Amino acid sequence: MDVESAYRDYGDIVYRRARMLVGEEEAMDVVQELFVSLLRRPEQFRGKSKISTFLYSATTHACWNRLRNRRNRHRIHDEQIRPSLQEGTAAIGEVRAIISEVIGRVDVQLAEVAVYYYVDEMSHQEIADGLGCSRRHVGNLLVRFHEQLDHLRRTHED
């Protein structure tokens, strides 16, 4: 794999994905870390999927790791969601706020699959290909996501 060509061809897609998940401030760091990692260990891309699918998945994983490692998830809301609401994108901001709230309260793998499915509108097969698992497993993860979401709703209503 030619990492330089991959960066030229897909760097903007990786950046947009990272910016959506971790915000403007950290997005470029994710992009740089991802491509530096590929320069150091090009064997990460095994050729089992398209390079774009691999990069999309790797970007998402890198972002989830960043989110998981943050200690204060409310800070994410204050730094990323509130500014987008103030920029006049209320509908998008509301969706991001809901996603941020849910992501902060469910298992990381469930949140990842839910974002792929509901935000990115990927099929079960596309998600399975990106994660390296079966379509059935993706379906099971979405069921678990809904169970946790229902539990959160009930808890919130009480």
Number of helices followed by number of strands (H, E) in the chain: 9, 0
For residue 87, give its domain range.
Answer: 71-98
Query: How does pLDDT run along the chain (158 residues), one tens digit per residue?
Result: 788 899 999 999 999 999 988 888 889 999 999 999 999 998 888 888 888 889 988 998 888 877 776 544 444 445 544 454 455 445 555 555 666 666 667 777 887 888 888 777 788 888 888 888 898 999 898 888 888 877 777 776 66
> How many Å apart are CA 38 and CA 23, to the nearest integer?
22
Same-domain pairing of 93 and 147: no
- Asked if 127 contacts 116 with a C-beta cutoff of 8 angstroms, the reply is yes
Same-domain pairing of 59 and 76: no
CATH number of the domain that residue 29 is part of: 1.10.1740.10
Same-domain pairing of 5 and 65: yes
CATH number of the domain that residue 119 is part of: 1.10.10.10
